[in-house]
Amino acid sequence: MTEPLLSIEDLTVGFKTPRGTVLANKHLSLTVAAGETLGIVGESGSGKSVLCRAILRLLPSPPAEISAKSLSFGGRDLMKLKPGEMRSVRGQDIAMVFQNPMTSLNPVWPIGDQVSEGLRIHRGLSQAASRKAAIDILKRVGIPSAEVRVDDYPYQWSGGMMQRAVIAMAMTGEPKLLLADEPTTALDVTIQDQILSLLMELRRETGMAIILVSHDMSVISETCDRVAVMYAGSIVELGSSAEVLSAPLHPYTHGLLRSIPHLDAPSGRLATIGGQPPDLSRLDPGCPFASRCPVASDECRALPIALTTLPGGRATACHFPERVALLDRKAAS
């Protein structure tokens, strides 16, 4: 196997608060191969966005406290880079698309200038050449009559068009890895559909890898090769998205999948996960999901748990992954 593009080993991110340190990411290890699409799924507060920001070193410290055995991208350890070197990684090697396009664009600057800024900085293009390149890239992401609309301000564009512009900005540096943090959550379903298709096309054309963060399992299943399921700051399950989403090996993944109302399912009661996610500043020593887990036993509450790779390459942070299959049998009977 070749060297992965991104390799994260034992990443921990804490935030100092008056109530103690909140562990937003806890001992995360993860790799992304070149050209791969990795999905990260989890609920609010599970640490998905913090992980993306930690990869790009966008978290100000303090309050963030970041430690990692290694955070290596293309053979370079991002943790050891100087701020100036890190700046050249951002946008050129790794680019990011955020959830809300309205807040990622500067409202008082024409969109064309914002797209071409990256071209001028990263590729050293002249004003005229960067404007022309910006029009081309806006066309590529599907902005109609881009040569006219390049001078528009963000407020003149719809949410879907703005997200296209943000994607265009991310593509200007020809990144090897794109971090897309809930890129379609703020959009309507037909526009989400367009943006997902666009991202997949761009990936096929450029061969870039994508980390796609989403709370929507179906989005992940349509777009990602592998998926990491996050809960309370930890990765609780990792594997090929086809396997994880059809036969989960962690009770949390199982519960999440069953609580989604489906288009073709009859109405009735939905399966729920009882209780609420734990307070990240006071995690118990055992499994963080134990208090909500339908198959937890005393060991789960007492013994610490780490993501463990099973034969076959899938990984789960569950003491008793074999119990997850029993959940389906229980539900069926």
Partner 1 sequence: MTDQPSLIVEDLVVEFAKSRSLADLATGTYPPTVRAVDGVSLSVRPGETLGLVGESGSGKSTIGKAILGLNHPKRGSIRFEGKTFAERDAHAQAAFRRRVQMVFQDPYSSLNPRLKIGSAIAEVLRFHAIVPETEVQAEVLRLLSLVGLPSAMAERRPRELSGGQRQRAGLARALAVRPSFLVLDEPVAALDVSIQAQVLNLLVDLRRELGLTMLFVAHELGVVRHMSDRLAVMYLGQIMETGPSDAVFRDPRHPYTRALLSAVPKMTTVKRLRAAVTQGEIPSALNIPSGCRFRTRCPMAQPICETVPPDVTVGEAHHARCHFAATPTNNSESGRKR
Q: Which two tokens stand for residue 131?
A: 């404007």
Nearer to partner 1, 180 or 256 (CB): 256
Which segment (79-87, 106-114, 216-224, 318-326) binds partner 1 by CB under 8 A?
Answer: 216-224
Q: Mind giving me the DSSP string for 56-112?
A: TT-S-TTTEEEE-SEEEETTEEGGG--HHHHHHHBTTTEEEE-S-HHHHS-TTS-HH
Among 58, 129, 271, 295, binds partner 1 (CB under 8 A): 271
Q: Are the CB atoms for 280 and 45 separated by under 8 Å?
A: yes
Contact stretch for partner 1 (CB under 8 A) within 27-35, 74-82, 194-202, 324-332: 194-202
The answer to whether residue 202 forms part of the interface with partner 1 (CB under 8 A) is no
Q: Which of 12, 70, 92, 221 binds partner 1 (CB under 8 A)?
A: 221
Q: Does 265 bind partner 1 (CB under 8 A)?
A: yes
Is-contact 227 244, C-beta < 8 A? yes
Binder among 194, 206, 281, 291 for partner 1 (CB under 8 A): 194
Does 246 help bind partner 1 (rule: CB under 8 A)? yes
Shortest gap between Cβ of 251 and partner 1 (angstroms)?
12
Residue closer to partner 1 (CB basis): 29 or 223: 223
Give strand ranges (E) for the chain: 6-17, 20-32, 37-41, 64-67, 70-73, 76-77, 94-97, 177-181, 209-214, 226-231, 234-240, 308-309, 315-316
In the list 7, 25, 104, 223, the residue contacting partner 1 (rule: CB under 8 A) is 223
Q: What is the smallest separation between the CB atom of 63 and partner 1, expressed in angstroms?
A: 21
Tell me if residue 131 falls in helix, strand or coil: helix
Of 17, 20, 242, 309, the one binding partner 1 by CB under 8 A: 242
Q: Which of residues 55-94 bind partner 1 (CB under 8 A)?
A: none
Q: How far apart are CA 37 and CA 189, in angstroms?
A: 21
Of positions 208, 256, 300, 324, contacts partner 1 by CB under 8 A = 256
The amino acid sitting at 120 is R
Whole-number minimum distance, CB 22 to partner 1, in Å? 16
> Which pair of tokens denotes residue 21?
């340190």
Please, what is the minimum distance in Å from the beta carbon of residue 58 to partner 1? 24
Beta-bridge mates of residue 12: 67
- Cα R_g (the chain), whole angstroms: 21
Binding partner 1 by CB under 8 A: which of 60, 264, 311, 312? 264
Tokens for 91, please give them.
């946008």
Tell me which residues in 23-52 interact with partner 1 (CB under 8 A).
43-44
* Contact (Cβ atoms closer than 8 angstroms) between residue 78 and residue 57: yes
Which of the residues 151 through 190 are near partner 1 (CB under 8 A)?
158, 160-161, 188-190
Instruction: Compute the C-alpha angle 27/276/28, nearest 5°.
Output: 10
Residues that bind partner 1 (CB under 8 A): 43-44, 158, 160-161, 188-194, 196-198, 200, 215-219, 221-223, 225, 242, 245-246, 255-257, 259-265, 267-273, 276
